[in-house]
Amino acid sequence: MNEIWLSNTLGKEKQKFTPINPKEVKLYSCGPTVYNYAHIGNLRAYVFADTLKRTLKYNGFNVKHIMNVTDVGHLTSDADQGDDKMVKALKREGKEMNLENMRSIANFYFEAFKTDLEKLNIELPSAFPFASDHIKEDIEMIQTLLQKDFAYKTTDGIYFDTTKDTHYGRLGGIAEDNDHGRIESNTEKKNYRDFALWKFADGTGLGFVAPFGNGFPGWHIECSAMIEKYLGTPIDIHTGGIDHIPVHHNNEIAQTECATGHNLANFWMHNAHITIGEDKMAKSGDNFLTLETLSKNGVHTLAYRYWLLTARYSTRVDYSLDAIKSAQVAYEKLHAHFNSLSNGNGVVNTEYKERFIEAVNNDLDTPKALAIVWELVKDGELNQADRKATLTDFDKVLGLMLGSVIKENIEIPEDVQKLIEERKIARENKDWTKADELRNQIQSKGFEIKD
């Protein structure tokens, strides 16, 4: 059995991974807030979780993977202020404020999210529990926290008392004292880091029935409650983007540990952001790119996956269409090469496999794994059937669908369409030099012409 080493935010170091139950790894990923389309930064979080899951499976583990769907309770600010993001979506879409409309918006963006995952060849989790279907579990956990005196009531909700949890903030990044004045506006909170477990319905009357007062669960409680229900704590690995470390994940840990008396997760793993310039790509911002935007720019979604794999999940990457287009050229070459290899009774080459597994087991070193793939591709000493069998094996982790036909409909940009038209005319005029030149120009824009 090969060793797996993973960077653990808890402890801030690479640690050897050993599952709690050798038969099945328990993995949880914070899922999407379904008030809008996922952007390509969000999708990095899920390609990362998928690569992790595929690596665990490649090592012979079964993986039970749960991903929540936040369709209620996520406020526009992490500091328990602002609108609920779903309420904001109702307003944006001009819909009447009621729970049914909230759910229908959630269903719409959830379906769009699932389509994105499928296009990226991300294996779907074992379950996708919706927050609004688990209000009962939230209420039970909040009642436990009230009974154990970890929570208190104010006029606008139920809050977690962070000073009662001596380990609060174990993941790091929590607000410092000097942030106090900036983020605090609720004078009833006992401590500025205390966070809402439940918010009472405001003037709109919108909310769920609860013994301590109708309203909405806080965003953090849904993850703690669903992890308990679907996986049972402690779990092996919890994933999410680095933006979740300071507030959401520290709060998940606090709630679970104080309610259950034990550890939430042995490993916490976080992907770095995709930025545009200096800014994080954000759903609430105007620097927001989706898979559809990429497709309109001639990018195949699996080329986007390939591009993500060229960097470590823990490295911040700046969005660049040119860089993604270069990755697309490499991806198409790899794809074409794979399909040109003759079939046969090939066997997986053990030397390459050993190096590949060592790379991915070293905290998912996908750039190194891709370098090994290219070495293998160019290795003329190895017969074609063996190369093909080995690449097929590696693709279990990479998820690049090397054996499939690239059939996604990419919207062809206007400038490329113009070049195609010009080339057609050149060919009709038997001007082969010009036609070849135009073909090269089209190729440099990431498109291939098949006459």
Whichever of 45 and 324 has its CB closer to Zn ion, that residue is: 45
Binding mask 8-47 for ligand AMP (x = CB under 6 A): ----------------------x-xx-------xx-xx--
Tell me how far apart the alpha carbons of residues 250 and 9 are, in angstroms, rounded to a whole number.
Answer: 11
Stretch of 206-214, 273-281, 341-349, 419-427 contacting ligand AMP, by CB under 6 A:
273-281
Q: Kindly tell me which residue out of 274, 294, 308, 419 binds ligand AMP, with binding defined by CB under 6 A.
A: 274
Least distance CB 34 / ligand AMP (angstroms): 8
Least distance CB 317 / ligand AMP (angstroms): 9
Whichever of 323 and 348 has its CB closer to ligand AMP, that residue is: 323
Q: Does 280 bind ligand AMP (CB under 6 A)?
A: yes
Q: Does 312 bind ligand AMP (CB under 6 A)?
A: no
Whichever of 89 and 223 has its CB closer to Zn ion, that residue is: 223
Whichever of 30 and 102 has its CB closer to Zn ion, that residue is: 30
Whichever of 242 and 406 has its CB closer to Zn ion, that residue is: 242
Q: Does 223 bind Zn ion (CB under 5 A)?
A: yes
Cβ(20)–Cβ(266) below 8 Å: yes
Q: Residues 223 to 242: which contact ligand AMP by CB under 6 A? A: 240-241
Whichever of 272 and 389 has its CB closer to ligand AMP, that residue is: 272
Q: Does 247 bind Zn ion (CB under 5 A)?
A: no
Stretch of 26-34, 265-273, 283-291, 436-444 contacting Zn ion, by CB under 5 A:
26-34
Residues 6+ positions from 208 with CB-CB distance below 8 Å: 99, 132, 135, 214, 215, 216, 217
Residues 6+ positions from 137 with CB-CB distance below 8 Å: 225, 226, 228, 229
Contact partner, 44, from Zn ion, ligand AMP, none, Cβ < 5-8 Å per class? ligand AMP
Contact partner, 41, from Zn ion, ligand AMP, none, Cβ < 5-8 Å per class? ligand AMP
Task: Give the closest residue to 37 by CA, choosing from 77, 93, 82, 75.
Answer: 93
Cβ(189)–Cβ(163) below 8 Å: no
Q: Residues 42 to 71: which contact ligand AMP by CB under 6 A? A: 42, 44-45
Whichever of 33 and 390 has its CB closer to ligand AMP, that residue is: 33
Tell me how far apart the alpha carbons of residues 5 and 341 are, in angstroms, rounded to a whole number.
Answer: 34
Contact partner, 348, from ligand AMP, Zn ion, none, Cβ < 5-8 Å per class? none
Least distance CB 97 / ligand AMP (angstroms): 22
Please state at what angle helix 350-361 crosses helix 384-398, rounded to 10 degrees. Answer: 20
Full strand arrangement of the beta sheet holding 274-276 = 279-280, 274-276, 317-318
Position of tokens 């080329």? 303
Contact partner, 32, from ligand AMP, Zn ion, none, Cβ < 5-8 Å per class? ligand AMP
Query: 140: how many CB neighbours lie within 10 A of its CB?
Result: 15
Whichever of 162 and 349 has its CB closer to Zn ion, that residue is: 162
Whichever of 58 and 268 has its CB closer to Zn ion, that residue is: 268
Least distance CB 319 / ligand AMP (angstroms): 9
Whichever of 106 and 402 has its CB closer to Zn ion, that residue is: 106
The two structure tokens encoding residue 54: 């595929």
Stretch of 29-37, 143-151, 334-342, 386-394 contacting Zn ion, by CB under 5 A:
29-37
Contact partner, 223, from Zn ion, ligand AMP, none, Cβ < 5-8 Å per class? Zn ion
Stretch of 18-26, 194-202, 279-287, 291-299 contacting ligand AMP, by CB under 6 A:
279-287
Least distance CB 244 / ligand AMP (angstroms): 5
Whichever of 158 and 221 has its CB closer to Zn ion, that residue is: 221
Contact partner, 145, from Zn ion, ligand AMP, none, Cβ < 5-8 Å per class? none
Contact partner, 241, from ligand AMP, Zn ion, none, Cβ < 5-8 Å per class? ligand AMP
Residues that bind Zn ion (CB under 5 A): 30, 223
Residues that bind ligand AMP (CB under 6 A): 30, 32-33, 41-42, 44-45, 240-241, 243-244, 271, 273-274, 280-283
